[in-house]
Amino acid sequence: MKHVTITSAIALSASQKKSLVEAIEKKHGKVTVTEEINPAVLGGIKVNIDTEQIDASVAHKLIQLQSKLS
Amino acid sequence: MEIQLSQILFQIINFGVVAGALTFLMYKPILKTLQNRAKKIEEGQKAAEEVIKEKEAIEVLKQKASTDAKKEAAAVMAEAKTQVDEKKKEMMAKAKDEVKAFVEEERNKWENEKAKLMKQMESEFTSAVFQVVDKVLGAGVIDAKTHSKLIDQSIKEVTKTL
């Protein structure tokens, strides 16, 4: 079973968490979930599925923007 | 008229003496003079012929020298022209290279300057964007509803990536 860590600036609502976990489980099967609150992500979420990371946070987008501009 | 033998004999002797004297004193010197003159004329003719031959030989040499000189001059001119052409080409190529290098250098300078300015502008822009975002997010301008919307969008992105 894979372990999923969801990082966000504020806590996800129950429906948000449910839809997200359902989408992940559809692809990876049953998972265990840990939620982390980190204001450094600024907004949005960052999902770690074992070693795989999907970063959809505002902080990551800003970093991408910065690297494109510089 | 009486023929005197002695008289005849005297006349014969007299004639012989005169003839001998004339032969000895006149004929031989005149003959010698004529022979000398003929010899001198012959020598003069030979000398004249030699002079003519020498003149002709000199003329031939002169023409040969003239032809050789012309050929040599033409060769020198051709060589000089070749050298001038080569030098000209070399100088043109050098000038072109110099111009190209100068243009390239100026272009590089301009590109560097442009890149520097762009980088500076981008840096300033990025800095401004970050300052704005930082102020907006740091000051708590984003409320829970906006955060929720951002999370919804992120969930959609994560779902698509999956």
ipTM: 0.92
Task: Please answer yes or no on whether B158 and A8 come within 8 Å at the CB atom.
Answer: no
Q: What is the mean pLDDT of chain A?
A: 90
Do A1 and A31 meet the contact criterion of CB atoms below 8 Å apart? yes
Listed by number, the residues of chain B in 108-137 with a beta carbon closer than 8 Å to a beta carbon of chain A are 119, 122-123, 125-126, 129-130, 133, 137
pLDDT at residue B40 tops 80: yes
pTM: predicted TM-score of the whole model, two decimal places: 0.46
Nearest by CB: B158 against A47, A62, A69: A47
Residues B58-78 have a mean pLDDT of 95
User: Cβ(A11)–Cβ(A41) under 8 Å?
Assistant: no
User: When comparing pLDDT for A70 and B67, which is higher?
Assistant: B67
For B32-53, what is the mean pLDDT? 96
Q: Which among B119, B148, B155 has CB closest to A20?
A: B155
What residues have CB less than 8 Å from A51, skipping those under 6 apart?
none
% of chain B beyond a pLDDT of 70: 94
What pLDDT, on the 0 to 100 scale, is given for residue A40? Answer: 84
pLDDT bucket at B141, cuts 50 / 70 / 90: low
Torsion angle of C-alpha atoms A16, A20, A23, A25, degrees rounded to 10: -120
Chain B's closest residue to A11, CA to CA, is B148
Q: What is the pLDDT of residues B86-113, one digit of tens each?
A: 999 999 999 999 999 999 999 999 999 9
pLDDT of residue B1: 63
Whether residue B148 contacts residue A11, with contact meaning beta carbons closer than 8 Å, is answered with no
Average confidence (pLDDT) over B63-80: 95
pLDDT of residue B4: 85
What is the band of A41 on the pLDDT scale with cuts at 50, 70, 90? Answer: confident
Cβ A56–B119 below 8 Å, yes or no?
A: no
